[in-house]
Chains A and B, each alone.
Chain A
Amino acid sequence: MAASRRTTRRTFLKTGAAGLAALAAPRGFGATPDLKLKKPIKVGCQTILSGPLGGYGEFMRKGAVLAMEEINASGGVGGSPLELNFRDEELKVDVGVKNARYFVDDWGADFLIGIDSSAVALAVGEIMPTLNKILIVTHGATEKFNEDLVYKKHIKQCFRICVPVYQDGIASAFIAKDLPVKKWATISPDYEYGHTSWKMFRATLKRMKPEVEFVGESFAKFGTVDFSSHISKVMGAQPEAIFSTEWGGEAVTMVKQAKLFKVFEQTKAFMIAMGSAMDVLQGLGADYPDGVWASGRYYFGYPDTPQNKKFVETFRKRWQSYPSYVSETSYAALYAIKKAVEKAKTLEIDPVIAALEGLQVDRPAGPCTIRKEDHQAIYAVPWGRIKHDPNFPMPILGDLRVAPTDEYYRKPPFPPVEA
């Protein structure tokens, strides 16, 4: 792709620059040791780049390219520069599998990152033993990826650097239990992700607050352009609060239409699990009602650490935009690769897997551990309430709340979710 070509060309330029920089830099504390690895280390990235959700891919690419530029400018991974190549995942399983095969079998990728669709994550995960490279998923959120593929089927090549559906279905319940409402309803996507997160939400909330009731649900098909009928159906059940896992353009449409139907006046709480994604914040802009509870897989305002501030600043300088969560997760994926390879001192699969297991990654989203049993990155992502601040070009989150990761990440042996 032109962009990837561009990236690739840029990589080589940066490689030259990085080489010089490495020579010029004092060979002392903090310098990257030269491990005499294959040059360059290739990372195949796939993400959705076309159609209504193409904005996601754009943000993912920006995060990955930024990480690559930083890593290469400071000596690369064990002395080898990174090279990235991007392909459109199209949210289609066959395309995702083809991309993965192309990256490994033809282009010579050493690592694979990316993937937005859960179905694609599962399909590509399934062939990773054949390809025998490490895959780090940066967005696809199905719990089956870590619970079934890694923990139960022992597909060791699969890792995930973003919070799974636990953030949407379980952490949300930790917020919901403190809200002064009892009657909940949902408008969510009519596919695995929507159904699972609603099930987790109900199970968790019921356990913590037995008096809650779930009075209505409406599941909207993928690609819904009008939510009016869903809104009117759910509001007919007179809920006090609405929980939703709609995302992307569909979340934007749903909120705009819910606003017209005066849902925010008639309910006491509204939660959107993917509502703090940058595309939703920017897409809704001034239309985003104050007080809506929203989360994502990372929020640029959390944690309040120098490292996160630096990431947001560099990102803004490089791309003239605030980072979305996929920017952070792809950025973190490349840094995790760097750290693991430098720890393993080789590109061989087994040592790198061993290095990744239990690895502590200091990422913009905060300190994070890659759990050994299911290769799932554990870190906290806040929920917060939408507010409008003149200092920001889009709505932001206030009243940030974080559930303890130890409580909301499901743990081995992963009992079935009952709701």
Chain B
Amino acid sequence: MGRVLLFQGLVGLTEAMYLWLVAAGLSLIFGVLRVLNFAHGALYMIGAYLTYAVFRAFGGNFWVALLVGPVLVALIGWVMEVFFLRRVYRADVAFQLLLTFAFVLILDDLVKLVFGPVYQSPPTPRSLSGAVMIFGSPLPTYHLFILAAGGLVALGLWLFLEKTRWGLLVRATAADREMARALGVRSSRLFTGVFMLGAWLAGLGGALSIPVRSISPGMGELIIIEAFVVVVLGGLGSLRGAFIGSLAIGLLHSYGIVFLPVFELALAYLVMAAVLVVRPWGLFGVREA
């Protein structure tokens, strides 16, 4: 029993890290731009494909690919924000959602056109394909790497938001957009920057997934709804909420599979509904005025 609780929990936390990378960007973008980006899962997919393309182009060096791939996704994010999203900031949230949904459809078919419909999956880097014995069971080194990477990103984001001037602007805009503008925050540059950062995070999630998951068109839709659940559970716009929400959903999955397999499909939704009924603005969200 102890083994199950601890080991299964550790495995759940690694799954949570992928969710966290996607949810962090989703929450950040909502906090500042007030746009619910349906295409965030598609950006995760693009991250996986582009990283894989770089991986092949650079003779199979995973580390180079990991650096370059997500940056390319950030550039795609730049295009999306500057040429498309910016035009609908004044429209209703629903139309923004529709616009990002259009991107989901377009990106899904674009990767199929460019890369073909067949699964792609590069091998796990040799240095990370081992396993460490924990509680008598082997835990993949790669999973430990993911745990570390997710934690580092969380730390980095926290430092960025708390200790840098840009972070201050982001927080100010998220807290009160009008006030921040009145105080001279150049919101258009900030918006672009935040969207690119969010895209980079999703791209990083995709990039980190390629050695252990299969890449295919439509893979973004498999995680976007779960990412929504995470950010809503944690409270829209709250990075702390997204982090805690990811951990909660990740653990819920891995424990649900062991203890409540029949309900596993519904568990995340049930918990989210329960939280919202008690706290309509999510765990760490700000109560709407």
Contact = CB atoms under 8 A, between A and B. Distances in A.
Contacts of A50: 108-109, 112, 217-218
Interface residues on A, range: 35 or more
Contacts of B112: 50, 54
Given A51-B108, A256-B124, A260-B124, A218 B214 contact: no
B214 A253 contact: yes
A249 B119 contact: yes
B213 A253 contact: yes
Contact of B212 (A249, A253, A262, A279): A253
A256 B14 CA distance: 16
Nearest to A265: B138
A153 interface: no
A188 to B, nearest CB: 12
Contacts of A221: 264-265
Interface in B124-150: 124, 129, 131, 137-140, 142-143
Max chain A C-beta neighbours (<10 A), residue from B138, B211, B214, B265: B214
A376 to B, nearest CB: 29
Given A235-B137, A262-B138, A282-B119, A51 B217 contact: yes
A260 B11 CA distance: 12
B120 interface: yes
Given A55-B119, A256-B124, A287-B123, A229 B218 contact: no
B117 interface: yes
Interface residues on B, range: 35 or more
A200 to B, nearest CB: 20
Contacts of B142: 260
A190 B264 CA distance: 10
Contacts of A235: 137
A305 interface: no
Contacts, number: 132
Nearest to A229: B254
Nearest to A252: B214
B156 interface: no
B7 A232 contact: yes
A229 B217 contact: no
A317 to B, nearest CB: 19
B219 interface: yes
19 contacts: A51-B216, A51-B218, A52-B217, A55-B118, A218-B261, A228-B143, A229-B8, A229-B11, A229-B12, A230-B257, A232-B137, A236-B4, A236-B137, A253-B212, A256-B214, A259-B129, A262-B131, A266-B138, A282-B118
Given A50-B217, A58-B116, A218-B261, 17 more contacts: A50-B109, A51-B216, A54-B117, A54-B218, A55-B118, A55-B119, A58-B117, A219-B261, A225-B18, A225-B222, A228-B11, A229-B258, A256-B211, A259-B129, A260-B124, A261-B140, A279-B119
The 3 closest A-B pairs by CB, nearest first: A283-B119, A260-B140, A51-B218
